C-alpha cells in the first residue's frame, strides 16, 4: 500500500517516534512524505521514503494529486491544531480530497496507531479491490 507521512513542525518528533515504533509494519509498504518530514523519518529509521516538496512549497498538493489519481491508500498527517499554518488552505484541500476519495486519514497519534494496527491485520485490503474496480471503470 502507498502511505503518506506528513507532520507540522511541532509534531515532527511525534511522527518520528511513531515511525520508529512501527518501522517493521511501515517497511512493508511504499512510503511518501513531505520534504522535511520524510528526511527526518528516513534518518531515524533508514526507511526508504519518496520525498515531495515541503508542505508550504506544494508537498501537500503533490500528495493530494496522488490521492485524486487513486495512487495513495492512507495518509498519516500529524497536525498541530493549536498553531496557525501559512498553508492552511492546502491542508484543508488535502483533508477534503481524502474525504472525497475515501482515503483513510489519521491526524493524530491515537488515530495513527489504530490505523497502523488495522493495516497490519489486513483491514485495508478493500483498498486493493476499490483500486481495481476504479481502474476497470476508466
Give the DSSP H/E element, type plus range, for residue 5: strand 2-7
- Mean pLDDT in order along the chain per 10 residues (138 residues): 96 98 98 97 98 90 95 96 82 94 96 97 83 71
The confidence score (pLDDT) of residue 125 equals 82
| Alpha-carbon torsion (68, 69, 72, 74), positive or negative | positive
Q: Give catalytic residues, as residue numbers.
A: 60
Structural domain boundaries in the chain: 2-137
Top-level class of domain 2-137: alpha beta
The confidence score (pLDDT) of residue 138 equals 67
The confidence score (pLDDT) of residue 91 equals 87
Q: Which of 26, 5, 8 is nearest to 83 (CA)?
A: 8
φ/ψ bin of 70: left (φ > 0), alpha (ψ from -120 to 50), beta (otherwise): left
- Side by side, the strands of the sheet bearing 2-7 are 49-51, 30-33, 2-7, 74-78, 105-106
Amino acid at each position: 500500500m502507498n502511505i503518506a507521512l506528513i507532520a507540522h513542525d511541532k509534531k515532527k518528533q511525534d511522527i518520528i517516534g511513531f515511525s520508529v515504533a512501527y518501522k517493521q509494519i511501515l517497511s512493508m509498504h511504499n512510503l511518501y512524505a513531505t520534504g522535511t518530514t520524510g528526511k527526518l523519518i528516513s534518518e531515524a529509521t533508514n526507511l526508504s521514503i519518496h520525498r515531495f516538496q515541503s508542505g508550504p512549497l506544494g508537498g501537500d498538493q503533490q500528495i493530494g494529486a496522488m490521492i485524486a489519481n487513486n495512487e495513495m491508500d492512507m495518509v498519516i498527517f500529524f497536525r498541530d491544531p493549536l498553531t496557525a499554518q501559512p498553508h492552511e488552505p492546502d491542508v484543508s484541500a488535502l483533508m477534503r480530497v481524502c474525504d472525497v476519495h475515501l482515503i483513510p486519514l489519521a491526524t493524530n497519534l491515537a488515530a495513527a496507531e489504530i490505523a497502523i494496527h488495522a493495516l497490519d491485520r489486513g483491514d485495508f485490503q478493500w483498498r486493493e479491490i476499490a483500486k481495481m474496480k476504479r481502474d476497470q471503470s476508466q
